[in-house]
Amino acid sequence: MKNLYVISGVTGMTGNELARQLLNDGHTVIGFDNFFASSIDTVRDIVDYGNFYFFEYDLNNAVHMSEIASWVEKIQKNYSKTIYVNCAAVVHTEHFYEVEHTFTTNVTSMRSFLQQAISVHADIYINCSTSEVYSMQSWNECGGVKEDDFLLLATAEHSQRTSYAVGKLLTEFFMKDAVDKGMIKGCSIRFANVYSNHERFAKHIIPHIIDSLSKTGEVILLENSKKNKRSFLHNIDSCRAVLELINSNSALDGTVYNVATDEEISIVDLAKLIAEKLHISMPRITFEGYRASDPERRILNTDKIRKCTNWKPVVSLSEGLDMCIQSLSESI
């Protein structure tokens, strides 16, 4: 028998690719999204699948969530397992500073969604967290930060952005507590800088650069970009990590797993690489504005997930950028 998956934030970067792979493998997906940070376009190719029940619902709406629970209870007997995956998050940078948004979605509603999974006797719950919890200390010289490294929250930068990180961190405690009490199996995942060729909103850095350079041959970056470096994870690899963890019983221990690549690149070099792929020999790069409390580097150690599963990234940054550029050209 196939499984029933319930995915919040299903049109987001990890959610849409996860749904796509599951549906193509014959599983059934109940997915919902309020389009706060995405659109129906990301699942346009799968929305009419017979095994995809899509709802324009809000994780923060009790009536909507009650209806999701009713759907699950109605059909779950037809499946081997019921698996919840919480991909919902207030992710766009301008919302990091909105405490009410981040708390409601990432803390209160995540906890309610977890409680729903427990109440319908779901087998597994995967909590998608974020590398933001490492805050300004998100790298070291020993292969990147590890899941069990101490988080120096007592010295966290005094910024509203910290509310996003602390909120997501709290969800990890909910997850661990539920597993420790035998209520459900599951774990949390700290993703690092996920990107997708389905993303159409030029608010994250990669689509911003591609969109700007494609239209004008120029891109405006923050002053931070002169020194900041990142590693970028394609959503094909982020959803592969979710699936690998689901299929590893020993990994469903309530703990946290880093998911990232080892390809670090400066934001300026990223812009130059994208320009090269767009055949722009002399891109105009200007710098405006400065974002406080923005880590200079973010390097995650992924030894833990690699030891517990067969996961490793398979999409290189160069290949991922090619996919993003190709997808954009097809949409024009």
Picking from 123, 6, 129, 2, the residue whose alpha carbon sits closest to that of residue 59 is 6
- Residue 266 falls within a domain, yes or no? no
Domains of the chain: total: 1
- Residue 206 falls within a domain, yes or no? no
pLDDT at 153: 61
| CB 219, CB 209: distance < 8 Å | yes
Terminal CA-CA length for the chain: 41
Picking from 129, 138, 139, the residue whose alpha carbon sits closest to that of residue 169 is 129
Q: Find where tokens 């190719």 sit.
A: 45
pLDDT (mean) for 289-296: 82
pLDDT tens string 233-246? 999 999 999 999 99
| CB 83, CB 123: distance < 8 Å | yes
Question: How are beta strands 185-191 and 253-259 bridged, if at all?
Answer: parallel
- Residue 170 falls within a domain, yes or no? yes
pLDDT at 271 over 70: yes
135-148 CB burial, b ≥16 within 10 A, e <16: bbebbeeeebbebe
Q: d(Cα 155, Cα 138) in Å, to the nearest integer? A: 14
Give the domain extent around 10.
4-195+233-260+295-314
* pTM score: 0.93
CB atoms within 10 A of CB 111: 15
Question: How are beta strands 218-221 and 284-287 bridged, if at all?
Answer: parallel
Query: Which residues make beta-bridge pairs with 126?
Result: 85, 187
- Residue 130 falls within a domain, yes or no? yes
Please enumerate in sequence order all residues whose Cβ is within 8 A of that of 185, keeping only pairs 6 or more positions apart, or say none.
123, 124, 125, 179, 249, 252
What 3-state DSSP class applies to 126? strand
What is the CATH number for 173? 3.40.50.720
pLDDT (mean) for 213-221: 94
126 backbone dihedrals φ, ψ, rounded to 5°: -110, 125
pLDDT at 310: 96
CB atoms within 10 A of CB 161: 22
- Residue 54 falls within a domain, yes or no? yes
Q: Which band of pLDDT confidence, cut at 50, 70 and 90, is reported for residue 139?
A: confident
| CB 35, CB 45: distance < 8 Å | no
- Residue 31 falls within a domain, yes or no? yes
- Residue 146 falls within a domain, yes or no? yes
pLDDT tens string 36-47? 777 888 899 999
pLDDT at 37: 72
pLDDT tens string 125-138? 999 998 888 877 78
- Looking at per-residue pLDDT, the higher value among 223 and 142 belongs to 223
pLDDT at 94: 59
- Residue 157 falls within a domain, yes or no? yes
pLDDT tens string 63-86? 999 999 999 999 999 999 999 999
pLDDT (mean) for 308-318: 97
Question: How are beta strands 229-231 and 253-259 bridged, if at all?
Answer: unpaired
**Whole-number average pLDDT of the chain:** 90
